[in-house]
Structures are given as C-alpha cells and as structure tokens.
Structure 1
Amino acid sequence: MHCELLPDCLNNIFEFLEDDKGTLYSCLLVNRLWCKFSVRILWRKNIWDLRYNYTKSSKVLGTLISCLPNESRDLLYKNKIFIPTPTTKTPLFDYVSFCKFISIDEINIMIENYQEISDDGDDDNDNDYDNDDDSDSDNDCNDSNDSSNSSNNNNNNNNNNYDNINNDDKKDLILIAQEIIKMFMKKIPSLKKLNYYLNPNEINYEILFIEFPGAKNCLMNLSELNCNSDIQSEFFYQMSKFCHNIQSLTIKFGEKVSNGLNDLIISQKNLKNVSLKQSHHDWTDIIPSLIKHSNTITKLLLKGKNDHKPLTFITNFINLKELIITFDYLNATLKDFKDELRYFHFQKLQKLKFSFGCPRSDILIDFIKINGKNLNYLYINRYDNLLNISISKLCPNLKFLYTIFIDKKSLIDILNGCQLLECIQVMCGRLHIKEKDMLEAIVKYSPKCFHELRLYNYAKSNILSKDLDSFFINWSNRIPQKSITFICLNVFDDLEKRNMKIIEKYRKLGVIKNAKTYL
C-alpha cells in the first residue's frame, strides 16, 4: 500500500535538513512538493557565498532577474542591460519571498562577476541557463557541485581593478543592484538577517534602500545586522526609528563612525550578541551606547589589529556568557587585562577565547581563579606549565579546551582534572608535544565523555602508522565504548596514505564517527 508523508511531517523533516545542502539538492527533482520544500530552505539563506563561484553567481543572478517585476525589467531593457535568465517562462516559485537573509555585498559581487564574464566575451556560460521544460526546479538550485568546481578556477578573479570600469558601466551595475534590492524589500515579508558591507576600494553601491517600498515592513523584525561603521548616516537614522529587535550586531570599523550608528544601537530592546572588528577606526565612539545594553549583552567578540584598544569597558557586561578577543599578532599582551579585568568576576561566563595574542600567564591564572569554575570552553594560544596546572585545577567543567602542551605530563594533568572534557585541540610538532605521546595520553586518561580530538600539526607529521593503529585499537577497547571524531589539520603536508587507510579502516568499523583532514 502506497503511503505519502503528510506535508506538515515532510516540512519538519526538511527543516531538520536545513544545513545539509547536499541532501536538499538531491530532493529537488523528486516531485513538485519536495522541490518546493527544498527550494524554500535553500533560498532562505544558502544562495550567498558567491565571491569565488562564477557559475553559481551567474545562475542566482539569472534567477533573480527572472523574478524582477515588469517595470524593473523594462528599466534594465531601456538602459540596454541584458542578462540571461534560466527560462523564458514565469518562475515556478516566488523564490525571493523565501529569503530570510540578504547580503548586499554578495549582491554586488554577483553583479560584478557577471560584468567580468561579459567583458571577457565568455559565452560558454549561456549553456548554464538551458533548462529542460519538464524540470520542476527551474535549474535554479541544481548547483550542488558548483562550489568545488568553480572556486578552484576563479580564486584569482577577485582582484578587480575597478578604476578600469567606465562610468557608464558603473551606473549599469548600480542600477542592477538597485532593482534587485528593491525587489527584496518589496517581496520579503520579514527579513531576519542583513549583511551590509561596502568596500571603499570598490564601486560605491551606497543605495539608500531603506526608502524603497516595503522596506520598513521587511526590516522591522530584523534580528541580525552585520555592517560597516561608515555607511551613510541616513540608513542608521531611519533604521533606529522602527527596527528595534536586533539581537546580534557585527560592526566593521572603517575610517569613521557614522553619526546615526549610536542612535541605532541605543534604540534596540534586546541586544545580545555584539562583534566589533577594528580595521582603521576603533570602537571608542560607540562604547557609551553599548553600555546602555549592559544587562542584555551575553556575547562579545573584539577583533583588532593591535592591542591598544580599550578593553576595560567589558566589565560593564555583567551577564556576559561568551568573551572572544582576537588581535592580529601573537605578541599582543592585552595590557588592559592587567588591572581591572584581571580580578573581575563574570558570574555567568562560560566561553573564553584568545585566538592570537593573550594576556600574560600570571594574569590569566588570576582571571581563571575567579572565573574558571563556570567555563565550559577555553581557548588560549599560550604555553605555560603553571597555566596548564591551574586549568586542570580551576576549570572542572570544561567541555572544550585548546591550550599548548610541550610534554605528556601537563596533558595528563588536564585530562585527569577536567572530567567533563568532550573535545580537545592539540598542537603537535617542533617544540610541541609529540603525536605519539599525545595519542597515548588521550586514549589512556581522557574522561569517559570525551569524543573529539583535533590534531593540529605545525610541522611535517611524524606520526607512525603503528602508533595510529594502536591508538584506534585501544580506543575501541575503552569502556564504555564511544566512537571518536578525529580531525587533523596539517599545515605543511597531508597525512601519509598508509595513515589515511588506517583512518578509513576504523571509520568503517565504527570506531571513528567522523574523520576530517585539512591542509
């Protein structure tokens, strides 16, 4: 007896597959209902990331052009702008209405990619738009392999010389962007995420789309905004009047801070996650506005080129759960940590990460004496034996850890002291712990809940096949049995073929749950 899943049940299954693009692509041609569910989820957030993928960007642009209202297409036609579309028929779905995420910079990149192809006289891409009349998917999303094929061929094509584009062509590109964004504003009932980054070295796409029809309704319930600090003030001013539900805000600081940015920050009702990324200007100008949200901000990321940026304002965020500090060089000392931050108690802090530069070890030890008990995630790019001993004694609830080891003993101390540890990232090679010693310690002393090992080789891997084989044999004999995720990142070379065969062998046996290697 033939049985079909109810639409609601089927919808829940597809929602579960939201991040599994490969499976979603495979569902496009099953039938019209499956196609609709797949397309809706794919267009929700997965149409972007187009910088190095000319084939995908051409397809997405063609589909967007086919969705434009007649007045917009007529306007492009009058300006002698002709962009191929996947089909001459009306699109099967209202693709644009499915979007919950818009990336202004990716729209610009998509259009510039098309302009480059047109200038090069590359007519081969026309074949990408051919469509079988019987296909339900319009060929719009059937590009699951495009990313891997195109990125390898086009990595060098992003070095555009925008000064060589004449003014008429620039006007055409801006007009295309304007009409596409206007369509987004009108057709998307409630946008959730907006990326609004502009590169000062590229074409000026500062389109005041906030004034387009439907923009207010589209942007009113925005929950995530990622933008430059120096985009036009009017955008921030207008947004501050009706957009009050932003929970996640990322700001890249350019040469200035636009006047309206503070107004937008102050107007928010429940700001939780803040990321400040310094390039030229720093974040000093907006600190008073952020402090207005000191009770609601729970995640703070600070990224800069040097460590001479103010940090003491962090103590205002008394409910902070995640603190991530990244400076672009290893010798950053984070001087602001030595005084007020050193002894400050963040009662709810669970995640602490220093990607590159770190405070001195004695300062870190004082900090984790006060805050270590609640931490479940700790990432510190610094070696100090006393620091590792302190972590083993003061951070009993860690689930993830990255710190530097040079010997087996300090790693064993960590594994014995942190009995809730589920994942550890270890750097091996040169002056760091030997791979054999690391594997022996992990298999013998890691807690029962441990299930993921991330191995980072800073030099050529010296791991022997017999040692790797022994590790997996011993792991399979642990009680209770738990399969392991094994991730290996090699800076200089890949693992030897023999080692790859061993990894594949134990993956098939179920000892390894997931295995990944990166160069």
Structure 2
Amino acid sequence: MSQQLPADCLNDIFDYLEENKTTLHSCLLVNRQCCDIAVRILWRNVWNFQSNNKPRVSLSIISTLIACLPRESKDHLHKNGIAIFTPTQKPPLYNYASFCKVISINEIDEMVQYIFKGRPTALSRSLNFNKYLLSQEILKMFMNQILSLKSLEYYLGCSQNIIFTCLPGAKTCLLDLIELKCRSDIYSEFFYQISQICYNIQLLTIELRDISNGLADLIFLQNNLKSVTLISISCDEENEGTKALISSLTKFSLSLIKLKIIEYYIPLSFIAIFKNLEELILSFELNPFDDFIQLQHVNFSNLKVLKFLYAIPRVEMLIKFLEINGKTLTEFYVGDHDSKLNVSIAKFCPNLKILFTIFIEKELDILELIFNSCQYLESIRVWCGDGYLNDKEFLDILVKSSPKNFYELEIYYCSYHEPSEILPKELEGFLINWKNRMTQKSLSLTIFNNTEGISLEANEENMKIIKKYEKVGLIKKFRIKEYDYDED
C-alpha cells in the first residue's frame, strides 16, 4: 500500500522547486493533494513564467484571472460593452488571485493588451479606456482577495491612473508589503497613499526620473529598509526632489545592508554614510568613474559582497579600497581586467568564496597565486579565448592548485573565431584528476556561450563525457547559459 507524504513535507519540497516552474507544473498532475500545494506556489509570483511563447502564456494567465472575477465585476464589464470569453464557462477550481504574493502592474498591463489586440472597440471609447476598465476590475479583485501582498512592481503603463490603493481591501492587502519596485515619477497620490499603509518595506527599487512629491516621505516613513536599488535613467542631482530622496535614505545609515546603483547622476559620496553595508553593487558604463575617490578610504566593516558589473574605478583607488575592506569580502566581481588588481585580490582578500575577475593568457601565475592565497574559495568565473585564458591550461591549474572547498566553475567563452582547445581525452583527464582530489567534492560547471557556439560543449564527444560523469555524480550540475552582465 502506497503512503502519501505529509502535507508539510510536500510544502517544503515544492517550496524548494519554486523557481523551477516546469517541474513544479508537472506536480499538478500527481494527485489532488500535490495539485493543491503546487498551484498555490505557482501563483505566488505568476508573472515570472519563462516561455518561448509569452503571448500564449500571458493570455492563459489573464484569462484565468478574468474567470476568477466576481459577478459584479463581470457585469460591470459587460455593461460597458467588454465581453471576454474564458477557456471554460465552469467556475475555476481555485481562487487563483488569492494565492498571489506578487503583483506586477506592468505585466497586468501587457497581458490586458493581449486580450484586446486586434479587437474592434466602440467608436465612442478608446482602446485605452477598455484596458483601464479591465485592469481596474482585476486590481480590485487582488485588493479584495490577497490577504498579505509581499511584493509590488509599479512602473508606468496604461494602468498608471488606477488609484488601487484606495480600493476596498487595499489596506489589508498592502499592510505587510516587503518589496516595492517603482518609477520615481508615478503620480504623487500613489506615494502619499501607500505611505499611510506601508511602514515595513525592506526592499526598494527605484527607477530615477523626475521625482514626484511623496516619494521621499514614503522612504522616510519606513521602519526597516534593508536593500535599495537606484536605476538612474535621467535624474538631476540639483533637483530638490533628488536631494529630498537622498536625505530620506540617510535615515537608514546604520540599517541598510545592500545598495545597488545602475548608472548615476548623483555623487557617490553619499554611499559612505551606510557604514553597515554588506553588499555594494555598482553598474556604470563610463570608465573610470573618478567619483569613487570619495569612497577609497572608507571602512565598511561588514562588507561581504562587492561587484562592479561594467566599468571599474581607477585601479589605484580600488586597490586602496581593497586594502581597507578586502579582508571581510566573501564575494568579489569585477567586469574589467587589470593585472595589478588581480595581484591585490590575492594580497588583500584572503576570505573570498566567490570570485569573478578577468585574466589574460599570460596570467596563470597570478591565478595560481589567488588559489594559494584564497583558501576559502569555492567558486570562480573566468573568460577564455581571444587572448584571455586558454581553457586547457586553466583546467590544469584549477585541478592542481584550487583550494579544498572549491566546487563551482563558470567559464565565459569570448572567442568568435577559434574553438575551444579542450579535446575529449583532455576533458576526461581533468575529470579523473578531479575525482582523485582529496576533497572528493562534486563539480558544478556552467558554460556561458557566445552566439557562435564554439566553447567546449560544441564538441559532441565532450558532451558525452560530461553526461558520463554527471551519471556517476562527479559533475553535480552542468548548465549552458547566455551571458548576462547585469546578473547579480
């Protein structure tokens, strides 16, 4: 007789699969108990489904939400000449809207556009008005049905003027909001209203444009802000709204632990006040950014993660910064090359666990120096090809010199002309040598490929060897991904 796992065990298992939508979706078909649990997790953040046919997926999601609308909402739409047919006339099996913990106004806006695409509208009304009516009813349902929303993404779209913060149930729905992503130029009423409801936002992402009144007040009224991301599209540092925003952030000089800035139009000197930062991520395209001189002597005693996704400061400034702060770093990411900087990593960052830096072909000795100096290193990402590291020579150094806890290897192949030099016999030799290491740690291998597809996985025999060692557990995980500079 088969035994069913307890519901709490299934909850834990399915929680672990939350980001793996395909696997989680297959759990819907196991039995009713698995379906009940899986469907709740799938709908927590229904907006981030990845699919090659996004219009079809979007239509499916929005049609399901429309089917969940209460009778009065459907009647209101019908009276306004909006007749939308759902896949089935039967009532939905679940109240899907109530499971959502994340709302994306932009995704709702995009999905609603799919509904009306190609449909004629009454001459007396615009298409935007129809989209507004449908979006309003969907948001009204969310405010009524979601007992505790965790994340809200609100940039501008055709739904921008729906003041959903005043809808029935909004106060209960938004009271425990943890994450807010928004543009700074949303209408002021939104910021004023939400600031009277939400006091415990911990994660804040702001796309900086013009600064609406009320945004600075919303920030200042938070009790436990921990993470801020500023994305500068066009922002005047002399603008009173910008000054007010920065002033509000200073309230969290001791509590903020993560700061990410993508481009900037404000002086970096304000970063120095956040003494307890654990993560600092800077993504600037202009190189060098001399404004970093304001930070090179600042001691961030808790800093663990430091990332420069594109440009880096002047190397002398960055080395000075590492001399002061390198000892606490466990993760360092630098998207540019400098041999002096690589040597300084070995000298000042002994506790690194994760490293991404760029080596050129003749710097294997520096790489070996880092392996010998950073004995806690577990993961490294490097570039190979076109004057960067030779992958065969790199793997030889890796298996001989990497620390005992090392297990994760990520290689980005830059070459558009020359294929990887790794032959099947050499790849298998590397894996056999890895197996004979004293630590016996399984290897995680990620290949970041360019569009030419000439990395080591382009050789079919190499792939057969990788699959062979996956089966015996020596390779724990193998992935082929597109490279993303902004990955953090």
TM-score where L is the length of structure 1: 0.86
Match of 2:420, SS state, is: coil
**What is the CA–CA distance in structure 2 between the aligned matches of 1:313 and 1:287, rounded to whole Å?**
8
Alignment of 1:53 with 2:54, yes or no, is yes
Q: CA deviation at 1:274?
A: 0.2
Q: CA deviation at 1:23?
A: 2.8
Aligned to 2:72: 71
Match of 1:420, SS state, is: coil
Residue of 167, 180, 184 corresponding to 1:229: 184
CA deviation profile, 1:130-156 (whole Å, cap 9, x unmatched): xxxxxxxxxxxxxxxxxxxxxxxxxxx
Aligned to 1:433: 389
Q: CA deviation at 1:114?
A: 2.1
**What is the CA–CA distance in structure 2 between the aligned matches of 1:484 and 1:2, rounded to whole Å?**
36
Q: Which amino acid aligns with 2:113?
A: E
Q: Which has the higher contact order (CA 8 A, sep 6+)?
A: 1
Aligned to 1:126: none
Alignment of 1:325 with 2:282, yes or no, is yes
Aligned to 2:39: 39
Give the RMSD, CA atoms, in angstroms: 1.9
The within-5 A match list for 1:380-419 is 380-406=334-360, 407-419=363-375
Could you tell me whether the CA contact under 8 Å between 1:308 and 1:334 is conserved in 2?
no
Could you tell me whether the CA contact under 8 Å between 1:399 and 1:422 is conserved in 2?
yes
Match of 1:488, SS state, is: strand
**What is the CA–CA distance in structure 2 between the aligned matches of 1:282 and 1:428, rounded to whole Å?**
40
CA deviation profile, 1:350-406 (whole Å, cap 9, x unmatched): 000000011011111100000000000000122222211111121111000011111
Aligned to 2:143: 185
**What is the CA–CA distance in structure 2 between the aligned matches of 1:50 and 1:473, rounded to whole Å?**
36
**What is the CA–CA distance in structure 2 between the aligned matches of 1:344 and 1:235, rounded to whole Å?**
37
Could you tell me whether the CA contact under 8 Å between 1:50 and 1:57 is conserved in 2?
no
Could you tell me whether the CA contact under 8 Å between 2:47 and 2:107 is conserved in 1?
no
Alignment CA distance shift 1:322-1:282 (3 Å): farther
CA deviation profile, 1:450-482 (whole Å, cap 9, x unmatched): 001100111143222133232212112111211
Could you tell me whether the CA contact under 8 Å between 2:328 and 2:349 is conserved in 1?
yes
Q: Which amino acid aligns with 1:172?
A: N
**What is the CA–CA distance in structure 2 between the aligned matches of 1:296 and 1:346, rounded to whole Å?**
13
> Aligned pairs, how many?
465
Alignment CA distance shift 1:294-1:395 (3 Å): same
**What is the CA–CA distance in structure 1 between the aligned matches of 2:177 and 2:447, rounded to whole Å?**
38
Q: Which amino acid aligns with 1:441?
A: I
**What is the CA–CA distance in structure 2 between the aligned matches of 1:63 and 1:282, rounded to whole Å?**
43
TM-score where L is the length of structure 2: 0.91
CA deviation profile, 1:13-47 (whole Å, cap 9, x unmatched): 33333333233212212332221111111111134
**What is the CA–CA distance in structure 2 between the aligned matches of 1:118 and 1:49, rounded to whole Å?**
26
Alignment of 1:261 with 2:215, yes or no, is yes
Gaps of 5+ in 1: 120-164
**What is the CA–CA distance in structure 1 between the aligned matches of 2:451 and 2:14, rounded to whole Å?**
40
Could you tell me whether the CA contact under 8 Å between 1:401 and 1:424 is conserved in 2?
yes
Aligned to 1:4: 4
Alignment CA distance shift 1:483-1:392 (3 Å): same
Match of 2:296, SS state, is: helix
Q: CA deviation at 1:117?
A: 5.6
Aligned to 1:103: 104
**What is the CA–CA distance in structure 1 between the aligned matches of 2:233 and 2:420, rounded to whole Å?**
39
Could you tell me whether the CA contact under 8 Å between 2:58 and 2:111 is conserved in 1?
yes
Could you tell me whether the CA contact under 8 Å between 2:279 and 2:303 is conserved in 1?
yes
**What is the CA–CA distance in structure 2 between the aligned matches of 1:232 and 1:111, rounded to whole Å?**
21
Residue of 474, 477, 480 corresponding to 2:439: 480
**What is the CA–CA distance in structure 2 between the aligned matches of 1:206 and 1:377, rounded to whole Å?**
42
Residue of 250, 255, 263 corresponding to 1:296: 255
**What is the CA–CA distance in structure 2 between the aligned matches of 1:369 and 1:182, rounded to whole Å?**
54
Gaps of 5+ in 2: 483-488
Alignment of 1:245 with 2:209, yes or no, is no
Could you tell me whether the CA contact under 8 Å between 1:429 and 1:459 is conserved in 2?
yes
Q: CA deviation at 1:166?
A: 9.8
Aligned to 1:208: 163
**What is the CA–CA distance in structure 2 between the aligned matches of 1:20 and 1:382, rounded to whole Å?**
32
Could you tell me whether the CA contact under 8 Å between 1:459 and 1:490 is conserved in 2?
no
Q: CA deviation at 1:204?
A: 5.6
Alignment CA distance shift 1:274-1:496 (3 Å): same
Q: Which amino acid aligns with 1:183?
A: M
**What is the CA–CA distance in structure 1 between the aligned matches of 2:320 and 2:171, rounded to whole Å?**
49
Residue of 391, 408, 411 corresponding to 1:455: 411
Could you tell me whether the CA contact under 8 Å between 1:458 and 1:492 is conserved in 2?
no
Q: Which amino acid aligns with 1:428?
A: C
